[in-house]
Amino acid sequence: MADTPSAVHTPTQIAYFENSTEREHAEAISSNHETLASVYRETIRKDAQMLQTMLPRELRDMVYKEMYAQDSPIHIRKRQPHENTQLGSVAVVDMIWPDPSGYLNHDLVGKEMSREAAEIFYNVNTFVIEDVELLSVFAKHDCYGYDVRPSSYIQSLVLALDNTPPLFLHTCESSPPENVEYIEGPKFCSSESESEESIQDKESNLWLHLRDTIKHNMEAVATFQNLKNLVIEVQLREIPSQYDEKGWWDPRDIANEVFRLKRACINLTIRTIRIPRTHDEKMLDRMDDQLVWQDVSSYFDEPTVTEIEHFEKHGPHGDSRSIHAEIMANYDENPLLEWPCLNNTINCRRHPGRDCTDQTWHDGWHRALIKDYWNKQQEFWDSFGKPSCPICEENMSA
């Protein structure tokens, strides 16, 4: 008897068999996953019922703390759109922290228990707000869908301020504006070819808008009723400019809000860091150990009588005096009132012989500058016959 010839499968049949096998495997995995997820959810429900029935609130809080207290801060940031595409929508915020325990999910454990867990979750962790614009949203919006305001329970907060361009703008003197100019709106120079009118219209108005936006966004800090520890981190990103400067962050942008927070007995730390001018993220990662945070909290302390007298005598632009050799020779007699050099380099071309990377001697200058700023605000409002700014008035009566 002749052998039966073996079946020959066409490429279409082979592809069909492969697709069928893959589909069967995917369905099996999906079925197994759903089974395990169902068991997982049921286990959480049973455990939650036992906790709520057998333990008082004090012991339940201890369980929540063990589950949700994190060793590192939780970052709140914006989601960024995919590069080179405009397809689809982009979520406004990315605030969802993964919840492996499931007790923040009111569909699993009920609203009462999920609320208890949320109160502990927000109370024991430190949250880093990476964009100041998210502060007001995060303060009142709970990402897990139940009726909890994070601002009512958070005790530890880190607020990041990024002076990325166009926030970096330089005055014509390449120095900080005087307090009157700062309040009314200073003029800025972007290039020698532009007219003064175009510069004032384009850049000064932009600077005022950005300055006031920072102030407005920081007002949301007042809604955090139980806040005990606040760290304000200012990232100073180096950018090119006609002066080859490294940029200037003006602490007056947040001075009023800082003073209000200090009066509320909040443990406040303000620090800055300079980030090199590079687009290579890998290089920045390698330089993490070299980037040093500088604590500038003392800028907002009360100035001494001597610091005020020197500031009133020499004005806010005393840095220009250090160019002369005779002033440099007597530099040690008055090291606190030279305003910070924007070059921030060891071999500074504007200040020969001075290590401009050391910013520690400028505390007194900043203290006097901010005190004078408060006084100028009072005079500014009085000149218009309007009630003084409540925060400014509170500052000056302290």
Q: How far apart are CA 150 and CA 140, in angstroms?
A: 6
pLDDT band at 80 (very low <50, low <70, confident <90, very high): low
340: left (phi over 0), alpha (psi -120 to 50) or beta: beta
pLDDT band at 392 (very low <50, low <70, confident <90, very high): very low
Q: What is the mean pLDDT of residues 205-229?
A: 82
Q: Is the pLDDT of residue 245 over 70?
A: no
Which of 71-75, 163-167, 235-239 is predicted with the least confidence, judged by mean pLDDT? 163-167
Among 117-121, 133-137, 164-168, 320-324, the range of highest mean pLDDT: 117-121
Is the pLDDT higher at 182 or at 186? Answer: 182
Q: How far apart are CA 248 and CA 218, in angstroms?
A: 20
pLDDT band at 397 (very low <50, low <70, confident <90, very high): very low
Two tokens, residue 356: 């401009």
Is the pLDDT higher at 391 or at 282? Answer: 282
Q: Is the pLDDT of residue 174 over 80?
A: no
Q: How far apart are CA 301 and CA 366, in angstroms?
A: 9
Rg (CA), the chain: 29
Q: What is the mean pLDDT of residues 13-21?
A: 59
Among 4-13, 30-39, 119-128, the range of highest mean pLDDT: 119-128
Is the pLDDT higher at 285 or at 307? Answer: 307
Two tokens, residue 94: 């990315």
Per-residue pLDDT at 327: 42
Q: Is the pLDDT of residue 252 over 80?
A: yes
Q: Is the pLDDT of residue 200 over 80?
A: no
Report percent pLDDT > 70 for the chain: 55
Which of 16-30, 197-211, 311-325 is predicted with the least confidence, judged by mean pLDDT? 311-325
Q: What are the tens digits of pLDDT across the range 34-69?
A: 787 788 888 889 999 999 999 999 999 999 999 999
Which of 128-137, 167-176, 263-272 is predicted with the least confidence, judged by mean pLDDT? 167-176
Torsion angle, CA of 336/398/266/139, rounded to 10 degrees?
-110
Q: What is the mean pLDDT of residues 169-188?
A: 62
Which of 103-112, 128-137, 149-158, 309-318 is predicted with the least confidence, judged by mean pLDDT? 309-318
Per-residue pLDDT at 90: 40
Q: What are the tens digits of pLDDT across the range 338-380?
A: 666 655 566 666 666 666 666 666 788 888 889 998 888 888 8
Is the pLDDT higher at 105 or at 19? Answer: 105
Q: Is the pLDDT of residue 303 over 50?
A: yes
The strands making up 126-129's β-sheet, listed across from edge to edge, are: 74-76, 126-129, 156-162, 229-237, 267-275, 294-295
Q: Is the pLDDT of residue 161 over 50?
A: yes
Residues in contact with 380: Cβ distance below 8 Å, sequence separation at least 6, in sequence order: 180, 183, 184
Contact 311, 337 (CB under 8 A): yes
Q: What is the mean pLDDT of residues 134-151?
A: 83
Q: Is the pLDDT of residue 14 over 80?
A: no
Q: In the chain, what is the straight-line distance between the N-terminal and C-terminal CA atoms, in Å?
A: 112
Two tokens, residue 336: 């606190």
Is the pLDDT higher at 51 or at 207? Answer: 51
Computed over every residue of the chain, the mean pLDDT equals 72
Per-residue pLDDT at 150: 92
Per-residue pLDDT at 66: 93
Q: Is the pLDDT of residue 19 over 90?
A: no
Per-residue pLDDT at 124: 95
Rounded (10°) angle between helices 11-54 and 57-68: 150
Cis peptide before 166 (omega within 30 of 0): yes
Q: What is the mean pLDDT of residues 114-138?
A: 91
pTM: 0.73
Two tokens, residue 98: 């993964």
